[in-house]
Structure 1
């Protein structure tokens, strides 16, 4: 039997609350117009801006997109606060975290990339812990 099944419920609760707090913070920052660059695009090019700033410029090109990504972090984070919706919230945040981790490593963000990887792993831990729910969704009821 895997260690995730035997993980104490208090440990899982701490991971749920931690991921809910972290992704709520990131989601709210994006929703309220932070993190991405929404300013003037004059005199900015690949030759004058480093790669990480260029990514923030790209995402900030559309304020709507920047805020929607915040919503996509905030809603699943809130879902982690309720036991009945933890699995769906954790699965959504795992996918979102995987995308963020890939982006952070691809564009060589500083130490933040390792935090993103950790958050992704922790969301994955929550998904694996509740994998029985996934099995129930795809179970053949005829058996």
Structure 2
């Protein structure tokens, strides 16, 4: 796999890009900007499109919105430090996979492809540290 040996500059660019993207979305969620936390009166499936209904549902619990923001922000910050890159990338891979599945399940437009790209890039970061990945799954008896 040649791209693993493409150089640390490529990995650094991916790390920084994913840190910025997920930190941005995490902050947006933490400050209450992504989900709808407003009045639920006069809202129904017949008056709201599916995409908006999903944001309404996730916004029903401000706690959930803030916690999901932390699950994006904290690992994004971890990507900024070499010692914590593996854990941050692994956490963001799982978060990204969840977002990607949700985006495809609810048929979000173009954003579902961006979520897929972000998930793949986080996967590349995890695979780049495949020695640590092997350690995680290694037989402790050996």
Give the TM-score of the pair, scaled to structure 1.
0.95
Q: Post-superposition shift, 1:137?
A: 2.7
Distance 1:141 1:68 in 2: 33
- The total of aligned residue pairs comes to 142
Q: Post-superposition shift, 1:131?
A: 1.2
Q: Does 1:79 align with 2:98?
A: no
Please list every run of at least 4 consecutive aligned residues from structure 1 whose deviation after the TM superposition is greater than 3 angstroms: 140-143
1:48-93 deviation digits (Å, cap 9, x = unpaired): 1111101100000011110000000000000000001000000000
The answer to whether the 8 Å contact 1:4/1:128 transfers is no
Distance 1:72 1:117 in 2: 18
Distance 1:37 1:67 in 2: 12
1:92 matched residue in structure 2:
91
Structure 2 gap segments, 5+ residues each? none
What RMSD over aligned residues (CA atoms) do the two structures have, in Å? 1.1
Q: Post-superposition shift, 1:138?
A: 3.0
2:41 matched residue in structure 1:
42
Give the TM-score of the pair, scaled to structure 2.
0.96
Q: Post-superposition shift, 1:141?
A: 5.1
